[in-house]
Chain A
Amino acid sequence: MNSDPKTGTGDLPITHYPSPITGFYTLFRKEWLRFWKVSVQTVLAPVLTALLFLLVFAYSLREHVDVFPGVGYAAFLAPGLAMMSVLQNAFANSSSSLMQSKLTGNIIFVLLPPFSHQEFFLAYLLASVARGLVVGAGVLAATVWFVDMRVEHLLWAIAFALAGSGVMGALGIIAGLYSDKVDELSAFQNFIVLPLTFLAGVFYSIHALPPFWQKLSLFNPFFYMVDGFRYGFFGQSDVSPWLSLAIVAAGFFALSCFTLWLLRTGYKLRR
């Protein structure tokens, strides 16, 4: 067996010497494959769920509700459902991966290598963004057969999809680090993510709400992600897309800083 124990690099050619880019990319690729290998559960299932919401809500309400001028309810609902799927699945990817790894003990395989906390954060974040975008694209691809889809400002839609999935990916890392048990993570999902996404204006415009609930919705950060994303499709929104983008970007920055700090201190990973 040929190896040089003194350097640890053995007789590998020079191109094979350790590269941090390779390390980060490998971790990202592992996290990508982790959800892609079970894509029936991680991609197809949420697409089907979104379709069911569309069929049930849109078809039962289409004669009664015209949320934006010239936009039928089904068309209004589709981007909201897509964004809801983006947010929920981006959160699920990082949170479940980290929590399960900690629970089973195989987290050790990503703690032993020489990752910086930035590389660790970016790999998990980008994999979450990837899953969110794949699911969102899947929802739109499925719903386009049922509704009249139009895209007025594609770049806005992409910007909010990226920012929103980034926010939820970072939040998922925090939840995954914090949770030591399945029910702790479920609490995050059931008491924070699910209610806030459902009450983010996915199914309605906030202007249809009584004034108190309208004002309260403005305190829901998820509202800005959904509203901004929908602006990309219809050129109409409940609040200014620039305000929404600023709030989402600020949220992403704050969450990222907090997550990086948790990783740097080894919170619940390195005792």
Chain B
Amino acid sequence: MVPAIQVERVSKNYGGMRALDAVTLTIGQGEFFGLLGPNGAGKTTLINILAGLVLASGGSARVLGHDVVNDYRAARRALGVVPQELVFDPFFTVRETLTFQSGYFGIRDNRDWIEEVMHHLDLTERAATNMRALSGGMKRRVLVAQALVHKPPVIVLDEPTAGVDVELRQALWQFIRRLNRDGHTIVLTTHYLEEAEALCGRIAMLKQGRIVALDSTQNLLRMHSGCYVELLLNPDRLPPALKPLVAQCREPGYRLQLKDYNEVERVIAELRASGIEIQEMEVMHPDLEEIFIQIMKKS
């Protein structure tokens, strides 16, 4: 099966700065893929190269087998992009905006699909409203709708929930999950790592233009075999033997980093021997955020 996205040794230089350094990446059809990295890592540059907004300095990129430069028409028809910034054309209403976007992709009379998309994104009541008059959340929904009007098989969302309230975030994820279940390939960039952990089947981590990790979410989480223990103690002090394990001091309490679950017994034993009462205790597996920080530090 043709990959949804194929990036081969793509590089991008801005003057003396190397924004992307020979990035190679393949995303299969139907995947829910996460692209993570700190600010300036090259995530948006990579997305922009796929979308044809930026010209790569080297390498090649394909969307559903179509080269984004030499076969740009087919590549762009196959791709829907939700940009990071809240941009809009202040001259038009929601329905006009979506109708134009649909027309740009060569689709005449797309009314039924546009109405369906507006319905699923809760835009129907605001269809005749000028874009200027919408709240930030509604503008974000319109951006998602604009990316979908031409029914692209591959949808890229560049930090879609930045600055969005909890309710809208949940609604957007429900909607995007549904699209993925229908078979659309989703590529997501986000700084909310708990979202990436919950939604993405596979993740690439970028740092300074290079891929520093590329694996399934489960494998990345298993990279750290240990666990964390959060403790609330009475009195609020640790026995000396446990102080090397402290990952974070909390007010009150402690967070200990353990190499594996077996060490939990040792911790309890040390505390009991020291006459310290455990008021609260929680054992947690490292989340993607911690894995991400470790990987970024190592590389």
A interface list, Cβ under 8 A from B: 1, 3-10, 12, 15-23, 25-27, 29-30, 33-34, 37-38, 101, 104-106, 108-116, 266, 270-271
Are B87's CB and A104's CB within 8 A? yes
Which residues of chain B come closer than 8 Å to A266, judged between CB atoms?
Answer: 55
A220 CA to B92 CA, complexed, in Å: 39
Judge if B34 is at the interface, Cβ distance under 8 Å. no
Are A23's CB and B152's CB within 8 A? no
Which residues of chain A come closer than 8 Å to B286, judged between CB atoms?
Answer: none
Are B106's CB and A270's CB within 8 A? no
Judge if B104 is at the interface, Cβ distance under 8 Å. yes
A12 CA to B107 CA, complexed, in Å: 9
Bits for B16-45, please: 1 = Cβ < 8 Å to A, else 0.
000000000000011000000000000000
Are A19's CB and B85's CB within 8 A? no
Which residues of chain B come closer than 8 Å to A37, judged between CB atoms?
Answer: 91
Which residues of chain B come closer than 8 Å to A271, judged between CB atoms?
Answer: 14, 53-55
CB under 8 Å from chain A, chain B span 84-110: 85, 87-92, 96, 100-101, 103-110
Q: Which residue of chain A lies nearest to B81 when distances are taken between CB atoms in the complex? A: A112
A10 CA to B149 CA, complexed, in Å: 11
CB under 8 Å from chain A, chain B span 176-194: 178-179, 182-185
Q: Which of A8, A23, A106 contacts B88 (CB 8 A)?
A: A106
Which residues of chain A come closer than 8 Å to B52, judged between CB atoms?
Answer: 111-112, 270
Nearest-neighbour CB distance to chain A for B118, whole angstroms, equals 12
A104 CA to B51 CA, complexed, in Å: 19
Are B104's CB and A115's CB within 8 A? yes
Q: Which residue of chain A lies nearest to B181 when distances are taken between CB atoms in the complex? A: A1
Which residues of chain A come closer than 8 Å to B120, judged between CB atoms?
Answer: 1
Given A1-B178, A22-B106: A113 and B76 within 8 A (CB)?
Answer: yes
Judge if B150 is at the interface, Cβ distance under 8 Å. yes
Q: Which of B72, B106, B113, B185 contacts A18 (CB 8 A)?
A: B106
Range, interface on chain B: 35 or more
Are A18's CB and B76's CB within 8 A? no
Are A8's CB and B151's CB within 8 A? yes
Q: Which of A1, A12, A114, A270 contacts B55 (CB 8 A)?
A: A270
Are B77's CB and A8's CB within 8 A? yes
Which residues of chain B come closer than 8 Å to A38, judged between CB atoms?
Answer: 91
Are B78's CB and A34's CB within 8 A? no
Q: A113-B105, A270-B55 are in contact. List 14 more A-B contacts (CB 8 A).
A: A1-B120, A1-B182, A5-B29, A5-B30, A6-B183, A20-B106, A21-B106, A37-B91, A109-B100, A109-B104, A113-B104, A114-B73, A114-B106, A271-B55
Given A20-B106, A112-B51: A26 and B100 within 8 A (CB)?
Answer: yes
Q: Which residue of chain B lies nearest to A105 when distances are taken between CB atoms in the complex? A: B87
Nearest-neighbour CB distance to chain B for A163, whole angstroms, equals 29
Which residues of chain B come closer than 8 Å to A6, judged between CB atoms?
Answer: 29, 153, 183
Q: Which of B51, B113, B185 contacts A5 (CB 8 A)?
A: B185
A27 CA to B105 CA, complexed, in Å: 10
A34 CA to B150 CA, complexed, in Å: 23
Judge if B116 is at the interface, Cβ distance under 8 Å. yes
Are B77's CB and A19's CB within 8 A? no
Given A23-B105, A112-B81: A5 and B53 within 8 A (CB)?
Answer: no
Are B54's CB and A1's CB within 8 A? no
Nearest-neighbour CB distance to chain B for A14, whole angstroms, equals 12
Are B103's CB and A5's CB within 8 A? no
A86 CA to B116 CA, complexed, in Å: 43
